[in-house]
Structure 1
């Protein structure tokens, strides 16, 4: 029997297989606070292994991975933290990703993701917390304080950097008072008020979430600019008196009919010539990460990311005009439109 060589390389398979370790290595970096150790002067593999009482050979190989991932670099035989690490692995950074990397709800646990994928394809796709559907808890205003705190911190880590970039780029410049609807920690409200110290925002979300948001508002010294309104998007009366409204990382949690309902509600409350904004990752089927994140949303909520074209269509259907897309940070964008 003559065996022919394969017609393509197996490199992509190896890349994906070894890719499982990249998130795990970042998670360990947060657990061990590798950034903090290097920042304190433990800047060689020997020093780090001694400080942590871990295998020196293992630590040396582990640090090589962090080097390849771009979080540390070697200079004059010593490790240094990169700008990437300074932004997202420093516990004191405004953009610290530890709340995501430590994964309190095991959302990204590789040990059960294969089973979760199969389950979601059978349309049993609810993300559970304490044995209950998180989606149901959101929609029925039944989120407990502990779960609300964990999710709010996690979502803040994922969204704040992009919110600050969007606000600093002037995307909200035509707004005087902004309603951050389904606000979570208030990433958009905080970024908006930081960019425009003489303007105001209203942060609107479930009561347990608002308790956590209050901590962020106080931390960033925005109590004079940001008002917090407790209530849910589906049954409570929404705040009024704003000329701009933003859904930040909200619509991707819901199926299209619910999104259309939320946009219609926003249209009815905005004044003439008021603006709506959608801050989110956009579905781009040509890119792997947005496609993966969209499937991640499907597995957890039965929802997905929406493309720029789909959001334009929903906004137009709700009555808005002149939808536009603005690049924010990384994979995130802001879609804006105006009420005639």
Structure 2
């Protein structure tokens, strides 16, 4: 055997051994194992957004995005309280995720091509179908976005809202005065103090911002939606196993609503003989093991926070102070576009 052949054989043997090792590694290697060993989930959230991520005087976080983190912690760690929340501005959120300062973002972030392809991130589905809108002073006496010609508009720098704003006005041959601020808090303060007539960002956020005004009745959210803003949890793209876990916790909450499973009837669901419910509860299917989780991972998530419907209504819907109609965020069979692959 030649020396070259011997070297090639050794290299092939090393490569084969490495491949075999990779195949025998647990499915949850990487972020999932790190979270389990740490004992807490590190979740990046917004700095404070009504209905999505609020911190009260006692330091307790609540909201739609917060509840998703709690559901994930319950599925992975068995305890929805084992979460540490890191408030992040729009400008720092993606760098914090890339630097592994957090395990995921659950922070009203829009899914775009650029953010995945250029930043090396992955969106694990859509939790809220949103669109950009406008909060305006009633004193402007406008009833639609096309009446905003020559308006002074406050917007947060470096966001999809800033880019969409320019696109909308150019496409409709309108002019405006852009007032750019480094963060959402600064943009809101400028709007409230009268430095601009209009505040633009995701429409869901505007409902919350309106309630923060000293005189909410003096402002209104216009009905116009000028963009698609699919919001959802974000992870690093180099850990497919973790991406899969986050994605399927999201899908489980949606499927729970479709199957009629809620926090209040989860014990009855555990006794069900329906095949799709038995797969959901982990009695059949073995999907928990495939994810690197306990068989009842989906049950733990729903027991902690409720189904998607319960999370939505509690934080954003008719049971909340925001009272945002579900609209697109209804299930696909109820007139909306909310759709999750089946657990099978």
TM-score when scaled to structure 2?
Answer: 0.30
Larger gyration radius, structure 1 or structure 2: 2
- Larger RCO (CA under 8 A, 6+ residues apart): 2
TM-score when scaled to structure 1?
Answer: 0.30
